[in-house]
């Protein structure tokens, strides 16, 4: 069965190339607000909004990502590789530039393989705490290929 594979976040191999080795990628991440600082690293996923039991009146901010060199810092590596099955082959030729339509189910954020609840202990988190490891693991199941256009 044909597949597509992509990364959720930045691999340690890419991170360890350094700011100069990443060049344009680092600059784009900075411009889009997807970095903390060079030494702190990249934000992989930003989840922000409001929640509440009876009304959405509590702010939340969960930013997942690696804080620098995970081995040197002894922190969890939140980079994940996602592999999805394609319903049909994506054909690439000089005349065909396929489009792969990937859907994401954001419900996986809290209701994935590990059921999570936002509360005052975890609603404002950045980095790679255990809550954000669980969020990352849940998010790996949020993607699916809907269809492929070969035209």
Domain boundaries, the chain: 3-149
At residue 19 the predicted structure's pLDDT band, cuts being 50, 70 and 90, is confident
pLDDT, position 36 = 85
Cα–Cα distance between 102 and 145 in angstroms, integer? 4
Given a contact cutoff of 8 angstroms between Cβ atoms, the answer to whether 16 and 38 are in contact is no
Query: Beta strand 35-37 with 99-104: parallel, antiparallel or unpaired?
Result: unpaired
Q: Any idea how long the chain is?
A: 151
> pLDDT tens across 28-78, in order?
998 999 988 766 789 999 999 999 999 999 999 999 999 888 999 999 999
Q: What is the pTM of this model?
A: 0.88
Residue 62 CB neighbours (<10 A)? 23
pLDDT, position 38 = 63
> pLDDT tens across 69-124, in order?
899 999 999 999 999 999 999 999 999 999 999 999 999 999 999 999 999 999 99
User: What are phi and psi for residue 32, nearest 5 degrees?
Assistant: -90, 5
% residues pLDDT > 90 (the chain): 78
At residue 20 the predicted structure's pLDDT band, cuts being 50, 70 and 90, is confident
Given a contact cutoff of 8 angstroms between Cβ atoms, the answer to whether 86 and 148 are in contact is yes
DSSP string for residues in 73-108:
HT-----EEEEEE-SS-----SS---EEEEEE-TTH
């Amino acid at each position: 069965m044909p597949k597509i594979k992509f990364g959720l976040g930045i691999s340690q191999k890419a991170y360890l190339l350094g700011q100069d080795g990443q060049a344009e990628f680092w600059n784009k991440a900075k411009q889009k607000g997807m970095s903390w600082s060079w030494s702190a690293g990249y934000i992989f996923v930003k989840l922000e909004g409001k929640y509440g039991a009876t009304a959405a009146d509590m702010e939340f901010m969960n930013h997942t990502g690696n804080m620098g060199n995970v081995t040197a810092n002894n922190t969890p590596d939140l980079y994940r590789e996602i592999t999805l099955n394609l319903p049909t082959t994506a054909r690439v030729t000089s005349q065909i530039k396929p489009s792969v339509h990937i859907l994401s189910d954001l419900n996986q954020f809290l209701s994935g393989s590990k059921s999570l609840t936002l509360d005052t202990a975890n609603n404002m988190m950045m980095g790679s705490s255990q809550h954000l490891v669980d969020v990352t693991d849940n998010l790996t199941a949020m993607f699916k290929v809907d269809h492929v256009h070969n035209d």
